[in-house]
Amino acid sequence: MNGEVTVLTAPGRGAVAVIHLSAGSLRTAVDVLNRHFQCLSKVSSLNDVPIGRILYGRWGHEDLVVVRTAAAEWEIHCHGGTAAVGSVVQDLNNSLRDFRGDRDPPAPHVAPALHGDPGLLDDRITSRKIAAEDKGLKAVAGNTIAAEVHRLLLKARTRRTAAHLLAQLTSHDPDECGRLEAEVRVIAGMPPGAERQTKLETLLQWSEFARHLTEPWRILLLGPPNAGKSSLVNVLAGFERSIVYDQPGTTRDLLEAATILDQWPMVFLDSAGVRTGSMDEIEREGILNSLAAVGTADACLLVADSSRPDVAEQFFSDIDFSFRRPVALILNKADLLNSDEMHVVRNRLSHIAEKRLSLPPQRDVPCFATSVNTGEGIESVQRWVVGALIPVEPPLGTALPLPEVIAAFF
């Protein structure tokens, strides 16, 4: 029976290493993993785990993440130290050898770089708190920080976010505590003063990033009725979630569409069309919900029907945009205009939007022409969202100020 163990990350010490297991069949893969991996995520059997599902658990005394990537292929994300990687590789090879009847296991193949697409967790993923008496967690019951990281790992939705959380439990020295605990201990042990404050501020600079490792970034689509927001949400998220109908005021409540962009969890919020004038009570309530959502969104897409710039102008005139998060202007239904017409509309609406947003003269509002019919501009908007919300990703292994930990210690 065929089988191969491959180290996907470069050799040497690192925050997190990735090991690939190809077992030839699902049964063999599951049998191999069941020998060593104690799964703490809520699953009935590894046989039933869907491709892309992230599982958190323990391998001996090591905390790690396991992901099913194909029918009989899995990835193991573990501490990047040479000893930890070697131990997992040896366990896998020994088990494969037993199932194959080989005398000597093959040496692991080292790939040049980590690869793989992100995977959403199955809808059944639990976000329950891990109590100290929970099976498999007694070793960390007395460690508040480690217990909190363990809890958050169960909520991670992509391999990218799980890797950053897992790195909080690792250290350069396997005998020492994890990165986050070590940093918290240093700061908590410092006397009050400027040096301690500087050290704390250095940790807290990643607060927004740390919070979103388990909470998706929220992007609100705001605009007048019938601007195509619902259709735009569908294509940005990659599936149909909103009610699409050619009638102003169709969307009355905020509709959420969760997706993954560049391995980061995102939620697009489709809001009721905002307008003034005569409307019924239900539509008025939907508009109030839309405006209230501005305060909780991480970014905002102002959506206008490019074929009706007069409606967009009225929208900008009626609404007070005191929004200090990333904002972009979306000129939707671009397929209804030729290039000259779009140039005129772009200049006209961009100028009004920048004026209403009270931006500095040197700063422009990013503007994208989009069409859900042709796909024009969709990928550009997605790239802007990722770049605006995560302009810098901390190096893997950076201590991150997980909100619950910071609240408990500072």
pLDDT digits (tens, 9 = 90+) for 300-331: 999 999 999 998 888 877 766 666 789 999 99
Token readout for 269 is: 């919020």
- Mean pLDDT of the 370-376 span: 95
Instruction: Inform me whether the pLDDT recorded for 23 exceeds 50.
Output: yes
| CATH number for the segment(s) 217-389 | 3.40.50.300
Average pLDDT taken over every residue of the chain: 79
SS (HEC) of 229-257: HHHHHHHHHCCCCCCCCCCCCCCCCCEEE
Instruction: Inform me whether the pLDDT recorded for 71 exceeds 60.
Output: yes
Vertex 30, ends 28 and 35: CA angle to 5°?
100
Predicted confidence band of residue 270 (pLDDT cuts 50, 70, 90): confident
To which residue do tokens 């070590």 refer?
A: 182
Predicted confidence band of residue 52 (pLDDT cuts 50, 70, 90): confident
pLDDT digits (tens, 9 = 90+) for 208-225: 999 999 999 999 998 888
Percent of the chain with pLDDT over 90: 39
Q: Locate the domains of the chain by residue range.
A: 4-185, 217-389
Predicted confidence band of residue 346 (pLDDT cuts 50, 70, 90): very high
Instruction: Inform me whether the pLDDT recorded for 34 exceeds 70.
Output: yes
Question: 304, 307, 280: which is closest to 222 by C-alpha?
Answer: 304
The CATH class for the domain spanning 4-185 reads alpha beta
Vertex 223, ends 220 and 227: CA angle to 5°?
115
Bridge partners, 5 (sequence order): 21
- Between 38-52, 111-125, 201-215, the lowest mean confidence (pLDDT) is in 111-125
pLDDT digits (tens, 9 = 90+) for 81-111: 788 889 999 999 999 988 766 544 445 444 4
Question: 264, 259, 294: which is closest to 386 by C-alpha?
Answer: 264
SS (HEC) of 162-200: HHHHHHCCCCCCCCCCCHHHHHHHHHHCCCCCHHHHHHH
- Compute the distance between CA of residue 100 and CA of residue 103 in angstroms, rounded to an integer: 9
Instruction: Inform me whether the pLDDT recorded for 285 exceeds 70.
Output: no
- Compute the distance between CA of residue 324 and CA of residue 328 in angstroms, rounded to an integer: 12
Maximum average pLDDT range among 66-75, 79-88, 106-115, 235-244: 66-75
**How does 258-276 read in b/e, with b if 16+ C-beta sit within 10 Å?**
ebbbebbbbbbbbbbbbbe
**What element of type H or E holds 406?**
helix 403-409
- Compute the distance between CA of residue 211 and CA of residue 200 in angstroms, rounded to an integer: 16
Tell which wins on pLDDT, 271 or 360.
271
pLDDT of residue 241: 53
